[in-house]
Amino acid sequence: MGVETYNFPGVNAAHPEHPMAVRLSDGSEHQGTPENPLAVRDADGSGFIIPDPTDSPVDPGNSSIVLLGAGEVFTGAAYEILAADNWSSVSVTAYSDVVSAVAGLSLQFSPDGTNWDRVVARTVEAGQAVQVVEDVAYRFFRVVYTNGAGIQAEFRLTTIFGNKAADLGTANDYPLKLVVALMDGGNNSMAVDGSVTPVELTYEHSGVDVDIYRIMVSWEDDGNWWAERFAGFAAELTNGCTLEHTRDGVVIPLVNGIPVKNNFDMESLMYDVNIQNLGQGATFLSSRYTFARFGRPIRLRAGDSMTWRVNDDLTGLIEGHAVIEGEFLV
């Protein structure tokens, strides 16, 4: 484990770059505390050894004990959570002696470190610790904490990552599964209009390689589901929907680029197709591309993507989704 040593100017003094590391007031030999899990007292007693953050599940860039004034904001550093470390979950615990702003504790996820598309927020009540545990949703992560109207006398914010894929054993032991919806930004619905500008519902992969075994496609619609029509529409689609795999910027059409224009195409290109009507209301269809049945799964590397492209107006559908399922290579 890489370390650095910092000589604290006095007891209970914080490290300038690692606010979770604080020298203990009694000077005793002690390896961390619940409030300061990074603090390890060095051999000569002059300070504490700070573990290399790449070896530790605690994220110092999104942890803090620096007190906040009224309405003041702590913004953590954007951390590439699915890069070298490949953590799969994050736990954030916050304690303050004064109430936060409404939804003041904010866990934020981003595909690029700039656009924070997924936000999980909670209000921290005075004197009550709040813990939020979330699965990793995107490539980058940060914490933003907004204080309320009071001035803090106590504040502890700790971010801990968990469940490294590499710690879960081999694929024959306890494989880490990937189940994720294809999305257009924050939208996972295929009931969209792609007739003028095609709509791309995409999964962009980062981190360790993953083998994609199948894609589940489902539709819900009213009307009569005839073979030569699409869903319950009155006719087949003009352009159809296509499935693509992108690697190194090169788009690779799957199933030879054959588009899905009608219900017969769904049956002929996918196995298996199941259409259900439970006696009242709409009819729904579920189907799947099972790549492992073609001989082998599709391997996604960091930077690869899978896309379902809608090239027609499907706003007449009640709903439609595509979900990819795979297994991380650990």
Per-residue model confidence as pLDDT tens digits over 211-243: 888 888 888 888 788 889 888 888 999 999 998
Per-residue model confidence as pLDDT tens digits over 244-291: 999 888 888 887 888 999 888 888 877 677 777 766 678 887 888 887
Q: What's the chain look like in SS3? A: CCEEEEECCCCCCECCCCCCCECCCCCCCCECCCCCCCCEECCCCCEEEEECHHHCCECHHHCECCCCCCCCEEECCCEECCCCCCCCEEEEEEEECCCEEEEEEEEEEECCCCCCCEEEEECCCCCCCEEEEEECCCCEEEEEEEECCCCCCCEEEEEEEECCHHHHCCCCCCCCEEEEECEECCECCCCCECCCCCEEEEEECCCCCEEEEEEEEEEEECCCCCCCCCCCCCCCCCCCEEEEEEECCEEEEHHHHCCECCHHHHHHHCCCEEEECCCCCCEEEEEEEEHHHHCCCEEECCCCEEEEEECCECCCCCEEEEEEEEEECC
323 & 182 share domain: yes
279 & 311 share domain: yes
* Range of 97-101, 131-135, 215-219 with top mean pLDDT: 97-101
Q: Give Cα 54 distance to the centre of its chain.
A: 19
For the chain, the distance separating the N- and C-terminal CA atoms, rounded to the nearest angstrom, is 22
- CATH code of the domain in which 257 resides: 2.60.120
Domain end, chosen from 163, 185, 204, is at 163
- CATH code of the domain in which 94 resides: 2.60.120.380
The number of C-alpha atoms within 13 Å of 140 and in the hemisphere containing its C-beta is 14
pLDDT of 153 > 90? The answer is: yes
pLDDT of 310 > 90? The answer is: yes
Does 77 reside within a domain?
yes
182 & 305 share domain: yes
Check residues 244 and 6 and name the one with the higher pLDDT.
Answer: 244
Q: Which domain holds residue 225?
A: 177-328
188 & 319 share domain: yes
- The number of distinct structural domains making up the chain is 3
- d(CA 32, CA 35) in angstroms, rounded, equals 8
Q: What is the mean pLDDT of residues 59-65?
A: 89
Check residues 185 and 317 and name the one with the higher pLDDT.
Answer: 317
124 & 4 share domain: no
Beta strands 273-276; 130-135: pairing state: unpaired
